[in-house]
Amino acid sequence: MKPTPAFSVISGAQVHGALAGREKQIVEVVEEAYRHHGAGRTVNPPSYFLRFPDRPDARIIALPASCGGDIGVDGIKWISSFPANIRSGLPRASAALLLNDPATGYPFACMEGSIISAVRTAASAALAADWLTRGRARPPRLGIVGAGLIARYLHTFLAATGWEFEQVGVHDLRTEYARDFRTYLEQSGERAPVTVHENPEDLLRSCDLVLFATVAATPHITDPELFAHRPLVLHISLRDLAPEIILRSANIVDDIEHCLKADTSVHLAEQRSGNRKFIDGTLHDVMTGTVRPDPSAPLVFSPFGLGVLDLAVGKHVHDLVRDAGELRVVEDFFYELDRYGERHTTAG
């Protein structure tokens, strides 16, 4: 008898429960995935975008990937971005993550993916903030542009990995969102005073660690002088900064080929300059000591978001839920497992 592959469904509640309070552990998982990626032990093809002529602001993205080494999982993230959801009270993004066994190719789990996506994004940013400030004083003034779910996770991971601030600034196009986020920060235990800025320019001038977590489709920050004080910029949303700012900064990305496409700010800078010389290297280069960003320039980290990070975090969640004995296996999910159906014996 051949073994019947098992298939489990892991709910958002289970994902949240497995990840809660494990921020440091998840940063380590993400760091391991980056090291595998930098060493060539991953497959991370381009993302595939499903767009809609009648809904031009909406999209669904497929991120197939494979992560080798000790992680050992294949799979795909299927994540949608429907900004109009916010008006009805739903989050903009929703996602599912499918994990495949690298030995058989059989999928063994499907899980809610938006929490995993937010967590891997925040863990990546926290990891970058740590590595990019090693050997120098940590920036004491935090600025957050875009007061949504990703910003909340970003702050949680920074706080959980030892970051403390003297002041925090928040800006959002919707001032009420920025005020709500200030209330959230104050209630979550942030001890620094939190200021809502009516415009991003004031925030940028007053902060030396800046998180961009917006839904901007085109650059809206255009003045390079706003970065004259050389802040560290975690450019999570990728399209906020004009090419002029990128070209006057030190630039670290997660993957050069992935980041230099889809009209990201670094892609626009490549089109403007006609070359890629403004890219200093990848986060893996920084982690291995082969690249040291110029300390005399603003430092911008632009992570396109690698599917291998989702797989690494998703596999970690699966294993935590499995080890807790809480996997919800779907019986008979795989049914046709015999080439000829039910076997019959032939009378001799």
Q: What is the CATH number of the domain that holds 258?
A: 3.40.50.720
Whether 244 is in a domain gets the answer yes
In tens, the pLDDT along 13-50 reads: 999 999 999 999 999 999 999 999 999 999 999 989 99
- Asked if residue 344 is part of any domain, the answer here is no
- The answer as to whether 329 is a domain residue is no
pLDDT at 327: 97
- Note the pLDDT of residue 340: 81
Unique residue bearing structure tokens 């989050």: 91
End-to-end CA distance of the chain: 24
Structure tokens at 238: 């990728």
Q: Is 290 in the same domain as 142?
A: yes
Angle at 142 between CA 141 and CA 144, to 5 degrees: 150
The stretch 122-150 carries a mean pLDDT of 95
Q: Across residues 220-233, what is the average pLDDT? A: 98
Instruction: Give pLDDT tens digits for 57-102.
Output: 899 999 999 999 999 999 999 999 998 998 898 888 899 999 999 9
Global pTM exceeds 0.75: yes
Closest CA to 85 of 57, 115, 108: 57
Residues 283, 185: one domain?
yes
Q: 314 and 296: one domain?
A: no
Question: Is residue 229's pLDDT more than 50?
Answer: yes
Residue 3 is assigned to a structural domain of this protein: no
Q: Which two tokens stand for residue 115?
A: 């929490």
Does residue 63 share a domain with residue 44?
yes
Contact 333, 88 (CB under 8 A): no
Decide if 113 contacts 63 (C-beta within 8 A).
Answer: no
Are 244 and 213 spatial neighbours (Cβ–Cβ below 8 Å)?
A: no
Taking residues 230-255, what's their average pLDDT? 98
Kindly state whether residues 75 and 186 are assigned to the same domain: no
Domain that holds residue 174: 124-302
Give the number of residues written for the chain: 348
DSSP for 158-184 reads HHHTT---SEEEEE-SSHHHHHHHHHH
Which CATH number do you get for residue 35? 3.30.1780.10
Q: Which residues contact 76 (CB under 8 A, 6 or more apart)?
A: 62, 63, 64, 65, 97, 98, 307
Same domain, 36 and 89: yes
Let me know if residue 331 belongs to a domain: no
Same domain membership, residue 292 and residue 159: yes
Classified as helix, coil or strand, 207 is coil
59 & 197 share domain:
no
Residue 167 lies inside a defined structural domain of this protein: yes
The verdict on 190 and 313 lying in the same domain is no
Cβ neighbours of residue 118 under 8 Å, at least 6 residues apart?
149, 150, 153
- Measured between alpha carbons, how far is residue 132 from residues 96, 196, 209, 287 in Å? 31, 27, 11, 9
Strands 167-171 vs 194-196: parallel, antiparallel or unpaired: parallel
- What pLDDT shows up at residue 342? 65
Number of separate domains in the chain: 2
Do 93 and 20 sit in the same domain of this protein?
yes
Q: Which helix (H) or strand (E) holds 323?
A: helix 307-323
Q: How many CB atoms lie within 10 A of CB 131?
A: 17
- 2 domain residue, yes or no: no
Q: Do 128 and 111 fall within a single domain?
A: no
Residue at 315 is within a domain: yes
Mean pLDDT to the nearest integer, 203-209: 97
Residue 281 has pLDDT above 60, yes or no: yes
Contact 99, 316 (CB under 8 A): no
Indicate whether 164 and 227 sit together in one domain: yes
